[in-house]
Amino acid sequence: MIVGWTDPDGARPWLGALLLAYYDPTGRLVYAGRVGAGIDHAELGRLWRYLQPLATSEMPLDQAPHRSNRFGSPPVLSRVHWVRPELVVEVKYLTWTGDNLLRQVVYQGLREDKNPHGVRRDVSTALSPCGQRTEGVGISQA
């Protein structure tokens, strides 16, 4: 599910990347990584409009995202706009890293039919024939 977004860079309008999270078995909201790939211009605007009323000054995560990881730079928290965790997205991704972050994530779309409180990480998910996983934030609905 979406827990925030970053400011856009360059000519990209509206937002840079979406910050993603899931609920762990104890009910804590855990950072899962971010996604910016796969979002076209029209969808960026649509997402931005959906996110505006959900904006909050408080980080909804139980713990802040890692300050470093080996697969790219961590989000600059001063450039993050937090939101209440109410929107579920579907993403395609290659794998989970050893740091428990999604890797090579591509946005597939909003899942307005999914309850955000049911978003959990599914550690038993099998690979598809092309070697990629597709589900709501690499997460299953409980």
pLDDT of residue 5: 96
pLDDT of residue 135: 46
Q: pLDDT tens for residues 40-77?
A: 999 999 999 999 999 999 999 999 887 665 555 667 77
Angle, vertex CA 106, rays to CA 38 and CA 50, nearest 5: 65
12 or 127, greater pLDDT: 12
The residue ranges of every structural domain in the chain are: 2-141
Q: Cα separation of 127 and 67, whole Å?
A: 29
Where do the H-state alpha helices sit in the chain?
A: 41-51
66 or 33, greater pLDDT: 33
Question: Which of the given ranges, 20-29, 58-67, 129-138, has the highest pLDDT on average?
Answer: 20-29
Q: pLDDT tens for residues 92-131?
A: 999 998 888 999 999 999 999 999 999 998 765 544 444 5
CATH-assigned architecture of domain 2-141? Beta Barrel (2.40)
pLDDT of residue 72: 59
Residue (of 59, 44, 64, 79) closest to 3 by Cα position: 59
